[in-house]
Amino acid sequence: MPHSNQSVHGSVQVRSTARVSTDQVLISRVGLHIPPSLTYTGWERTGAQLARIFDSSAWCLGDWLVCGQENYADRYVRAVEAAGLDYQTLRNYAWVARRFPLERRRELLSFQHHAEVASLVPGEQDRWLDRAEKGRWSRNELRRWLRGTRLDKKAAAEATSMIPRVAVAAERVERWRAAAQRADDQLENWMVLILDRAAEDVLSTEST
């Protein structure tokens, strides 16, 4: 809003600059007004508030573009241009927003957390977001875990591609799958791990 500032002081409020005391941190279109009397606690609270504003703005802009695409297909691009927004950025926000309806979004995790897992199927999205929420992972930590899992899957696929196919009863596969889930691992990774352990036991026995 060109004629108003937002006060970051416990909760975000929009006020006229003429009525706001100078001991408040104010958000304007061109930056922050930071009072000299700001304490560390106030500075820390300001950072948390700014992070929430930034995070919610990504969701809100994504939802806004989705609404435009669905309801004003012939005019929404003009509205984006008139608002002075970057269309490619909005498209990225909208893609994540489409992948996560409101009821599936996690308030304790950032928009970027959701973006990291947006390309996965919903069940996998929820599994990774559960782990990130429980472990209080940063976005970068979640990215590292995802990258490690992808590398493990690739290694497992390369390893299993050289193993002959074995006919196995369905109930045995389900038992293995349940054990892998109990170990919080993918079935393929779990199978490779178990085979490695079994081979190590046999080989260590033979060497004694």
One pLDDT digit (tens) per residue for the chain, 208 residues: 334 444 444 434 434 444 555 678 888 878 888 888 888 998 898 888 888 888 889 999 999 999 999 999 888 888 888 888 888 888 899 999 999 999 999 999 999 999 999 999 999 999 999 999 999 999 999 998 888 877 656 655 555 556 667 777 888 888 888 888 877 777 877 888 888 878 877 887 665 5
Instruction: Check if the beta carbon of residue 180 is closer than 8 Å to that of residue 187.
Output: yes
CA 177 to chain centre: 26
DSSP designation for 18: G
Distance CA 182, CA 15 (A): 53
Instruction: Check if the beta carbon of residue 20 is closer than 8 Å to that of residue 26.
Output: yes
Instruction: Check if the beta carbon of residue 188 is closer than 8 Å to that of residue 156.
Output: yes
- C-alpha distances out from residue 61 to 11, 12, 91, 111, Å: 21, 18, 9, 12
